[in-house]
Structure 1
C-alpha cells in the first residue's frame, strides 16, 4: 500500500506539477511571466462573468422567470 501512495506522489511531482515548477523559475526574471497562469484564469473568469450577466439580462428582458410569491412551497 505504501508503494501505491509513493506512485501517486511521483505522478504529481513528475508529471502534473512540473509545468508549474517551470513557471516558478520565471519568477526571478519577470513577475508577469511567472503569474501568467493567474492572469489567464482571471481573464477566463471575467469573460464567464460577463457572459453570465448578459444571459441573465436576456432572460429577464423576455420575462421568462416566474416571479410569483407562490413559486416555492416554503414561501
Structure 2
C-alpha cells in the first residue's frame, strides 16, 4: 500500500459517499432553483438563528452587568 493508494481511497470515498447528496441536488437544478439551493437555505437559516441567539445572550450579560469592564492591562485604554 502506497501513499497514492491512500489518497486515491480518500478521493473515492469523498466523491462517491460524501458528495452523493450534492450530486442528487445538482440534478434538480433544471427543475427547481429553490430545491437545488436547499443546502444554502439551511446554512443561512442556521446562521441567522445562531446570530439571534448570540445577540440575545450578549444582551442578557450586558443588562446584568456581569462583564468586568475595567481596563487593567494597559493604561492608555482608559
Q: Which TM-score applies when normalising by structure 2?
A: 0.88
In 1, the alpha carbon distance for the partners of 2:48 and 2:20 equals 27
Runs of 4+ in 1 over 3 A off after TM superposition: none
Candidates 15, 18, 21, aligned match of 2:17 = 15
Displacement, 1:30? 0.4
- The unaligned stretches of length 5 or more in structure 1 are none
- The unaligned stretches of length 5 or more in structure 2 are none
Give the number of aligned pairs: 73
- RMSD over aligned Cα atoms: 0.9
What is the correspondence of 1:48-59 to structure 2 with a 5 Å cutoff? 48-59=50-61
For 1:32-69, what per-residue CA distance to the aligned partner results, in whole angstroms no more than 9, with x for missing partners?
Answer: 00000000110000000000000000000000011112
Structure whose residues are more often helix by fraction? 1
Q: Which TM-score applies when normalising by structure 1?
A: 0.92
